[in-house]
Amino acid sequence: MADTSMLVRHPLETRRTLLAELSAELDGVALELEAPLAAVDLRLDPAGPGPAAVAEVAGGPLPPQPDTWTGLAAGQALRLGPDEWLLTSAAARPEDWEFGLDEAAAPFGGAAVDVSAQRTTVRVRGASARPLLASGCAIDLRPASFPRGRCAQTLLGQAGVLLVALADDDLQLFVRPSFAGYVVDWLVDAAQEFRRPS
Amino acid sequence: MSRIEGYGRIDRSRHVTVTVDGAAYTGHPGDSLASVLLAHDARPANTGVKLGRPRGIGASWTEDPTGLVQVEEPFPEPMLLATTVEATDGLVARGVNGQGRLSEVPDLARYDRLHTHCDVLVIGAGPAGLVAARTAARRGDDVVLVDDRPTAGGTLTGTETIDGRPSLDVVDEIVAELTTSPNVTHLQRTTAFGHYDDGFVLALERRTSHTDDGGLARRSRQRVHRIRAARIVVAAGAIERPIVLEDNDRPGIMLAASARDFLHRYGVLAGREVVVFTSDDAAYAAAVDLHDAGASVQVLDARATAPTLWSRRCADRGIAVTANTHVHGTRGEDRITAALVGPERREVACDLLLTSGGWNPTAHLFSHVGGRLAYDPSLGAFRPAAPRPGVEVIGAADGTFGLADILRQAGGVGAPPANEEPRDPTAVLWRTDGDPTRQFVDIQRDATVADIARAVGAGMTSVEHVKRYTTIGTAHDQGKTSGVIASGITAELLGRPVEDLGTTTFRPPYTPVAFAALAGRERGDLFDPVRTTPIHDRHVAAGAEFEDVGQWKRARHYPHPGENMTDAVLRECAAVRTSVGIMDASTLGKIDVRGPDAAVLLDRLYTNMMSSLKVGRVRYGVMCGNDGMVFDDGTVLRLADDRFLVTTTTGNAAAVLDWMEEWLQTEWPELRVRLTSVTEQWSIFAVAGPRSRDVVGAVFADLDVSNEAFGFMTWHDTALDGVPVRLARISFSGELAFEVSVSAWYAPAVWARLLEAGRDHGITPYGTETMHVLRAEKGYPIIGQDTDGTVSPHDLGMAWAVSKKKPDFVGRRSFGRPQNQDPLRKQLVSLLPTDAATKLPEGSQIVRFADDGRLPAPPVPMLGHVTSSYHSAALDRPFALALVKGGRERIGEVVGVPVAGELVPALIGETVLVDPEGARRDG
């Protein structure tokens, strides 16, 4: 009988083992699923006192430049556009995360909407992480152009992703759960190039 | 054997065996298929496409117009040049008679692409490109260097001296330096084939064609590099130009530099009795080198006097040089046996005729981005006329031919020096006198001087027209040797200067590219993304058949063993109408609309009034485009005074959000509204049927689901084990129904609980096909199926959803057009085939019924067409929805629908066929 317990599972849970086994056979690439996070989509006027007010609740300053991210107390603040951020938390419950941030943003004409289940995360690590992603992503991924602290909404293969640079050899991919199966299939296919010679 | 000891860069210590036209030939690693054949004095069994004349190998690289082969092993590929196929053990090929053959077996190789960004892209690893790449690398730039041949060095043969050393030693030294530079990517076997705006170049890398590929089977066979460069250096060299003469298509006729290339690269002497016919100095180097390798050589120079220095070098070797002499034709059957020399057409025995009419700069990649080429009379060739930002053309590609000049141009003062060689000017000679019907311009296309004359005679004066009329320049080689000559001969025939005519436009790709390479990974399962819902696995486990809705896989129906789709759908429909069914509606688009002006925005975008909706209630809404035609529909939930949740159709989720953002950002920026897509945040399950209240009530025990407490088109929030859940009384079937929304994190558990709670009622998962039938029985249209962008809300019988109170909304003005008032507009109606048995095919035309049941002779006026058609479990008969001209006025009328040659009578009716009173929706 199907499991009826209200546990949060990664949408790609059934592929976790496959990714671990594959990563063990790869040279310089490790693919891993990340635990689900609470997340809100914050729309807010970047000028004025709004961002500072939200920062207090969020647990860290909001990144001042689009396509960059900053660390929060238990998550990240990723600036998606001039007036849009994704704020994540590994500690908060989604409904609390939304409520608190929305309350902080509303007086400044902003809004925070719970999108915790709207994206899922895959971690790509290793010296070959960027070459792997460069086989399906058109943006300039050279470490000098896309260093730690940068993020970008772009395409991997044909799926929209939010790509986040944690380090030269450590990147995060936020992807819509409906596209996650495609993205992982794509990564597994592209990763064949990086298999250790048998 | 024509393999010459002491020449070539092949690995003579190892052997490879290739099979061509059934015969086995031995070669060495480093050989091309063409060099293996020439080493054995053989050629592929090729014949011309139209005239069937034998054809050989006419050049040593991609410019060869004739040496095409069909490769059979290791993988079937049509029409590759033997000169570009690397000889590997076990290769099987055959000659091509006219056209090749596509593979009949699947291509299991991998193909991929790689995006690369760099400061400088250098195209060509000849002396110019190598020095330019090294200069940029030393400066600290990120450099990508691509070259199409297997090894670097371009046309350097090793006989030249650079910096006081053998040229190839210098090449090796530069390559070694580039290899150890971390900021340089150096790719051989990589052809830059297209150059586009903003420094974007596509290059094809052949990664496995030269290997037996034991341990690297997972490596992609070919890779398309998508390179974005701040600066591009085109150092692609030049292509030698033949001289057109009578019967110039015979095997054994070749470009002079190609024969030299075969000698120095592969150690192959392409002929023993050689006639060199030239109007340019470079062919003398071939004459001298072939002589030194053991051939008997004589030179015929079309120019009035032969160049002094080269004449002396020839005299030293006993090579006869005759100036002011033309070759007018050839003799031979399977191979050339003689050149016909001078006006008297004296037969000079030979087995190899080399021609050289000068050099055409390979400026294709400059031309691709609109770089203009101009005729340079001193070269007799077209070369880049004016610079383009971010693009440099250097070396022979720019018309610079002396090695010393090339190195200086590429490397400036720091460039390695080379000896200055005097060069006599090239004489422009497109062709010699002879029979124009046998003077081949494009040898692959069997197109002759006579064909150009015919084009000119037909009145064509543009080289673009002549190209299309004659097909010159349209073969695999894209006119690398024939294009400029065609311009020259056309100019001659028109009596105009060639600079006035110009050349035909160069377009990508520079060399042929396999579709498989362009497709990359986007084939098979990765051809297009497949989107799945959070409970996709449950649908699979339940045996669902899926249908594609946009990129989504949606469960279409869940056949039991032995059921076909009709059976399954009838069973699922009956379950919803009599007990309870459940459907995954998670693919619906969902948009969170926030802000003090949220209601204002929705009032302007929906045809109906949304600002009057009370918190806690739900309203169906229709959206039109500017043209007043239905664009999308869905439900609107008012969550708070300043917050709505709107749903869209599955396929339009992104389009509706874009539409809303566009209006908000460009037309009404003063509105204080924020839009957020929450399509994948919320999973939605529709629980529908008379027992749905029991099921929902059992799962959400703390919620009063009675009709009094939870009315139709209202919503309530509750929780399940602390997880927020929203329920709404929304029905797309006419039955009592609830939509259960929960964070997608918990979708599998909630789906399982609903199924478990419904087990005693026989809860039946139903798919989109069943949903379509149930909604059609109620006359609910599907946007995109019953509409096609020309249907207004009024046409759908939805005037009730068009507000008369609102001052304006998108589409409103179009409703006032005379066209929209036309009583003969197509309107949505139902159709009942009177035989109660025929399921009318969707898309069928509707015509006036004829008593004899036959379609009258044309023209037959069309009344409309069938948009949806199903079997109905509730009605126990087939039924359809249709758009019919003046349909509502025709209710009660019998029309005809042609099906398989018969005219099936069908009765036009109201759209709502099941429960028109709406008695069932409250249970």
DSSP secondary structure letters along B167-180: HHHHHHHHHHHHHH
For an interface test with B, the pick among A8, A146, A193, A195 (most B C-beta atoms closer than 10 Å) comes out as A193
Among B74-78, B116-120, B405-409, B593-597, the least confident range = B74-78
User: What integer is the mean pLDDT of B262-271?
Assistant: 97
Can you spell out the DSSP letters for B234-282?
E---EEE---B-BTTTSTTEEEHHHHHHHHHHH-B-S-SEEEEEESSTH
One-letter amino acid at A23 equals S
Can you spell out the DSSP letters for B740-797?
EEEEGGGHHHHHHHHHHHHGGGT-EE--HHHHHHHHHHTT---TTTT--SS--TTTTT
Q: Which residues of B touch A181 (CB under 8 A)?
A: 530, 532, 536
Closest partner residue to A118 (CB to CB) among B228, B532, B680 is B680
Contact check, Cβ <8 Å, B112/A135: yes
Task: Give B756-800 pLDDT, tens digit per residue.
Answer: 999 999 999 999 999 999 999 999 999 999 999 999 999 999 999
Q: What is the pLDDT of residue A1?
A: 47
Residue B777 CB contacts under 8 Å (≥ 6 apart), including other chains: B734, B872, B874, B875, B879, B912, B913, B914
Q: What is the pLDDT of residue A2?
A: 61
Contact check, Cβ <8 Å, B531/A192: no
Low-confidence spans in chain A with pLDDT less than 70: 1-2, 198
Q: What is the pLDDT of residue B216?
A: 55
DSSP 3-state percent helix, strand, coil across chain A (nearest 5) = 30, 30, 40
Q: What is the pLDDT of residue B214?
A: 45
ipTM greater than 0.90: yes
Closest partner residue to B521 (CB to CB) among A178, A181, A186 is A186
- A82 interfacial to chain B (CB closer than 8 Å): no
User: What integer is the mean pLDDT of B23-31?
Assistant: 97
Closest partner residue to B115 (CB to CB) among A95, A113, A137 is A137
Taking only residues 12 to 41 of chain A, the set having a beta carbon closer than 8 angstroms to any beta carbon of chain B reads 14, 36, 41
Nearest-neighbour CA in chain A from B480: distance (Å): 32
Q: Are B343 and B324 in contact (CB under 8 A)?
A: no
- B525 interfacial to chain A (CB closer than 8 Å): yes
Q: Of B520, B523, B211, B511, nearest to A134 (Cα)?
A: B520
Q: What is the pLDDT of residue B215?
A: 46
For an interface test with A, the pick among B108, B221, B526, B548 (most A C-beta atoms closer than 10 Å) comes out as B526
- A193 interfacial to chain B (CB closer than 8 Å): yes
Measured CA to CA, the distance from residue B449 to residue B439 in angstroms comes to 6
B244 has a pLDDT exceeding 50: yes
- B682 interfacial to chain A (CB closer than 8 Å): yes
Task: Give B668-727 pLDDT, tens digit per residue.
Answer: 999 999 999 999 999 999 999 999 999 999 999 999 999 999 999 999 999 999 999 999
- B151 interfacial to chain A (CB closer than 8 Å): no
Contact check, Cβ <8 Å, A181/B745: no
Task: Give the chain B residue nearest A146 (alpha carbons).
Answer: B117
User: What integer is the mean pLDDT of B796-809?
Assistant: 95
Would the CA dihedral through B153, B156, B158, B164 be positive or negative?
A: negative
Would the CA dihedral through B894, B897, B900, B903 be positive or negative?
A: positive
- A137 interfacial to chain B (CB closer than 8 Å): yes
Question: How high is the mean pLDDT of chain B?
Answer: 95
For an interface test with B, the pick among A3, A5, A6 (most B C-beta atoms closer than 10 Å) comes out as A6
Nearest-neighbour CA in chain B from A53: distance (Å): 18
Closest partner residue to A43 (CB to CB) among B674, B744, B749 is B674
Contact check, Cβ <8 Å, B594/A179: no
User: What integer is the mean pLDDT of B227-244?
Assistant: 98
Most confident of B99-103, B205-209, B737-741: B737-741
Task: Give B481-504 pLDDT, tens digit per residue.
Answer: 999 999 999 999 999 999 999 998
Measured CA to CA, the distance from residue B868 to residue B878 in angstroms comes to 11
DSSP-derived pairing of the beta strands A69-71 and A111-114: unpaired
Task: Give B639-668 pLDDT, tens digit per residue.
Answer: 999 999 999 999 999 999 999 999 999 999
Contact check, Cβ <8 Å, B529/A190: no
Q: Where are the alpha helices (H) located in B592-746, listed in sequence order?
A: 598-605, 653-662, 692-699
Q: What is the pLDDT of residue B217?
A: 63
B923 has a pLDDT exceeding 90: no
Percent of chain B with pLDDT over 90: 93
Nearest-neighbour CA in chain B from A133: distance (Å): 9
- B527 interfacial to chain A (CB closer than 8 Å): no
Q: How far is CA B687 from CA A103, B532, B882, in A?
A: 34, 20, 28
Q: Which residues of A touch B700 (CB under 8 A)?
A: none
Q: Are B831 and B908 in contact (CB under 8 A)?
A: yes
Contact check, Cβ <8 Å, B531/A178: yes
- Which domains are seen in chain A, by residue range? 13-35+118-194 (3.30.1360.120), 38-114 (3.30.70.1520)
